Structure 1
Amino acid sequence: MPYDVTFDRLETQALYDLKGPRAALSAWAGEALPAFPERPNSKSEAGGVTLMFIGPDHWLLRADLSREDALDAALRPAEAPPEISLVRVSDTLAWFRITGPDAAEVMTVACPMDLHESRFGPDGASFTEAFGLRALVTRCAGGFDLAVEQSFGPMVADYLTRVIS
């Protein structure tokens, strides 16, 4: 059954893994970060930068790759105090954007997590599985962004092509 959906493999994203107490991260990073999301498995966005709350004292910071140098300068990962960890992991994930009226149905095929908008709203961001692989899923306008380990990118592109055709 063909679905009314498109998917695109996105360019590499600037991505940082942040660990440590929220107060310490906030004090160190200052205005380089959007407001910290209050709920686990959610995200906040400001100025083209997204901060995802993915676990206890664990966040991912995502932005367009063109902002990576500015984020490096603002976050200063090599100088971070010992109670926090700021690691650039930009090249670790392959990103896909799945949009269209049937995006939720395609994600139901790919992912066992309940992504209904009543459970996984516009600020949803969580690690789960997609096609049996560890995956990060976030909501985007008109659908979902899906990220998997970079080496699995071609395989996921093939799976998505098969699902939507």
Structure 2
Amino acid sequence: MADTALPRSPLGPAADRLAATTHASGGAVRLAELPFLAQIDLRLDAKGTAADAVGLALGLQLPLEPNTVVRAGELTALWLGPDEWLLVGPAGTQRDLESRIREAAGDEPVSVTDVSAQRTTLLVAGPRARDLLAHGCALDLHPRAFGPGRCAQTTLGRTQVVVVARDEPRAGFWVLVRSSFAGYLADWLLDAATEYI
């Protein structure tokens, strides 16, 4: 018998509490889960021919500057290391992304891994979003240091995360967290957000 169960979000049970915090803070902090985003870990030689071919196939050039983000349409590429990127796209697009990358790379050595189930994404937005994240993050989150188009692997509330400053200041941040730590981090954010309620 085929498994027909729908995927369950790691933060599904916390959705109401996240929304309640948004309302209680009067919009000063907005918390929500963006579940099931496609996430592909890509490793290749940034100076090799595959990098250009893959960029062309995806419709974006992979960011080469450390801790930067390139976005084209609904696809976002995060620089994680000199030869590693995380591609984030709409839910259900992981197979398409994988096949486009492999076809574009041809015989060039690449590593393409679907890590969509590994993490979930929390949206942290609102006028006090930076302040909220600063409670448990060692990064300098001031817009001059960590403005739109920046990303970093760091810890937030003692949890390893990837933080992404979205394209516009009002768009807030994505916090990509491992699914097994998502509940803990949501509780931590909800507790830290009580200051703004």
* TM-score, normalised via structure 2 length: 0.75
RMSD: 2.0
Q: Which residue of 2 aligns with 1:55?
A: 81
Matched AA of 2:145 = R
Q: Distance in 1 between matches of 2:53 and 2:108?
A: 13
Q: Which runs of 5+ in 2 are unaligned?
A: 1-23
Q: Displacement, 1:161?
A: 0.9
Question: What do the CA deviations read for 1:37-84 (whole angstroms, capped 9, x no partner)?
Answer: 23110010002101111111111111111322321331238x964622
1:25–1:84 Cα contact (<8 Å) kept: no
Q: How does 1:1-40 map to 2 (within 5 A)?
A: 4-22=28-46, 23=48, 24-28=50-54, 30-40=56-66
Secondary structure of the structure 1 residue equivalent to 2:117: helix
Q: Distance in 1 between matches of 2:144 and 2:188?
A: 27
Q: Does 1:156 align with 2:161?
A: no
Q: Distance in 2 between matches of 1:123 and 1:6?
A: 20
Q: Percent identity?
A: 27
Matched AA of 1:151 = S
Q: Distance in 1 between matches of 2:148 and 2:54?
A: 28
Q: Distance in 1 between matches of 2:32 and 2:76?
A: 20
* TM-score, normalised via structure 1 length: 0.89
Q: Displacement, 1:127?
A: 0.5
Change (3 A) 1:28 1:8: closer
Give aligned pairs, total: 163
Matched AA of 1:135 = V
Looking at secondary structure, tell me which structure has more strand per residue.
1
1:28–1:80 Cα contact (<8 Å) kept: no
Question: What do the CA deviations read for 1:132-159 (whole angstroms, capped 9, x no partner)?
Answer: 1111000124211101111011111111
Q: Which residue of 2 aligns with 1:146?
A: 175
Q: Distance in 2 between matches of 1:148 and 1:33?
A: 26
Q: Distance in 2 between matches of 1:80 and 1:90?
A: 24
Secondary structure of the structure 2 residue equivalent to 1:127: strand
Q: Does 1:118 align with 2:144?
A: yes
Consecutive aligned runs of 4 or more in structure 1 exceeding 3 Å deviation: 79-82
Change (3 A) 1:101 1:28: closer
Q: Distance in 1 between matches of 2:136 and 2:59?
A: 31
1:29–1:74 Cα contact (<8 Å) kept: no
- Higher RCO (CA-CA < 8 Å; seq separation 6+): 1
Q: Which runs of 5+ in 1 are unaligned?
A: none
Which segment is superposed worse, 2-11 or 33-42? 2-11
Secondary structure of the structure 2 residue equivalent to 1:72: helix
